[in-house]
Each structure stands twice: as structure tokens, then as C-alpha cells.
Amino acid sequence: AGYLQTDFRASLDELRFLVGNIGVRLVNTETWISGFQNQGQGLEPFFQKNTYTDILPSFSMRMRVAERTALTLGAAKVMTHPAFNDLAPGIRVNNADKTAKSGNPDLEPFRADQYLAELTWAPVRGRRLSGMLTYRDAESFFVRGEESIEINDATFIVMRPINGYDGSILTASLKLDQNLRRMTKYLRNFDLSLSYTHNNSSTEMRDPYTGEKLPMPNTAEHVVRAGFNYSRAIFSGKLLYQWRGRALKSSFSESGLSIWNQPVGSLNLNLAWRLKGMFQLAFDA
């Protein structure tokens, strides 16, 4: 991979300035995949080499548009490689319920054109409110598919990653970061973070039962996060709650029905103690 970037800065007047950068990244990828794969006559040795090159331009600009207010604009072509496990040709079977999981050596990267606009307002020190719009036009993306195969005279339902094509996501988000030290001296080491995200996505995939267009996989329409942080020299803690709405898991199921992840909430706690020297003790739950 290689990357070339140039930065720029300009003063529009005494109160407004503009900074940004323009760059391009060249990524050449080669993967060698070996293992065993079911070819209809049982497991057989498998080897495959994949090669592809991506040219990824990017642009980012930040401008002060008013007192304590900044506007950020950006555009980029982005690419994300598949996880190594998702490329593996091997198969992991569960004899109890006759299911299996496998990778896909032909899986292509996630590729998209991405556009961003963010407005940030910091009325006082320790408080920041931001709103962001992001649009992604996805050329290819990842989705889970199911198929039935015969292994040792038994039928297994195999779930494997496959590519979907021609999808889009429009994301709108609001976020508040607030230091609580102004409320009372007892909260001077505490910070509060609140955010809400709304995703409006679509693909060319259709529900096998209703025929309606389906959203991007693993993209909940509503996401809410609330974080409570504490930080001192020798100790820090973070309590994070996240709620995600209903999201598509797969439209390629053996049953002929789309599979959905139901709404779910999670609560995470992270504690860290800084010990003498370079040591740190951490606890996560």
C-alpha cells in the first residue's frame, strides 16, 4: 500500500479559517487461501489466489463558520478487507443440530463512495454538540447466506458470508459531550456522552416472501448510546449503554425467509488502575 497526501490552510477573514487535506491511497492485495472444501464427493484439498488493486482518493475540509462553530466536509472512496476467517474454505460442523459454518474464498471487499458533513458547536468549554450526515454508496458489501450440503450422507445447513451489491446508507447522528465539573465540584472528574443515530439504508436484495427491498445487513435503523466516564491520575472508569434496533442478518436463508436480529441493549463497564511504572490493571464486564 502507498499513500500520498497534501495539506492546505487558508484564512478567509479574522474569524474564519479553513484547513484540510487531499490524498490518495493505492492498495494492492494478494491472498493465498488453502484448506479443504466440499466438492460434492467429500472434502478435497483446495487452493486459490486472489489479486486486486484499489485506488482510494480522499478529501477533507474543516472551516470555522461562526464563533465556536465549525463545519467539516469530506469525501472518500473506502475499502474494507474481509476478515481472514470469512475467507477460509474450511467448514465447522455441529452434528447435534445439523448446522455448519464456512468461509468464502471468493468474498470481495466492502467498497463504497462516502460523503460526510458535520457541524460542531462548542458554546462553552467542556461542552460540545455535533450533528453529522453521512452517505455511503456501496458497490459491494457483506451478507450472510445459507445453503444445504451433503456431508457423510447427512444434510447440513451451512451459513457462509457472500457479497451483496448496489446498496446505500444515509446516516444522521446527533451527539452531546458534556464535562460535569460546572454543575458541582464533586463531579469535576466526570464526563457524559449521549448520541442518537438514524440509518436509512436500501439494497437491491428483496425479501423472498414479500418481494420488498431490504436494508443493508447489520445496520439498525435506530441506535442510542449513553456513556458516563470518570478519570483521575491513577484510576479511570467508563459505563456505556447501547441500544440497537431491529437489523437484517440475512436474506439468503434455506427456509426462504429473511433473518432479522431483534432489538438489543447492552451495558458495559470498564475500570482501569494505573500502577507504578508502566503497568496497568484493567477490568471489563
DSSP annotation string for the chain: -EEEEEEEEEE-SSS-EEEEEEEEEEEEEEEEEEEEEE-SSSEEEEEEEEEEEEEEEEEEEEEEEETTEEEEEEEEEEEEPPPHHHH---EEEETTTTEEEE--TTPPPEEEEEEEEEEEE-SSTTEEEEEEEEEEEEEEEEEEEEEEEEETTEEEEEEEEEEEEEEEEEEEEEEEEEEGGGT-GGGTTEEEEEEEEEEEEE-S-B-TTT--B---TT--SEEEEEEEEEE-SSEEEEEEEEEE--EEEESB-TTSS-EEEPPEEEEEEEEEEE-STT-EEEEE-
Over 80: is that where the pLDDT of 37 sits? Answer: no
Q: Based on the structure, what is the number of domains in the chain?
A: 1
Q: pLDDT confidence of 42, banded at 50, 70, 90?
A: low
More confident site: 130 or 147: 130
pLDDT in the model for residue 101: 85
The whole-angstrom distance between residue 48's C-alpha and the CA centroid of its chain comes to 28
pLDDT of res. 250: 79
In terms of residue numbers, what domain contains 247? 2-284
Residue listed under C-alpha cell 471468493: 106
pLDDT of residue 38: 62
Instruction: Mean pLDDT check: name the lowest of 59-63, 104-108, 237-241, 250-254.
Output: 250-254
Prediction pTM value? 0.82
User: In terms of C-beta density within 10 A (0-12 exposed, 13-18 middle, 19 or more buried), how is residue 73 classed?
Assistant: middle
Q: Which positions ≥6 away from 185 have C-beta within 8 Å? A: none
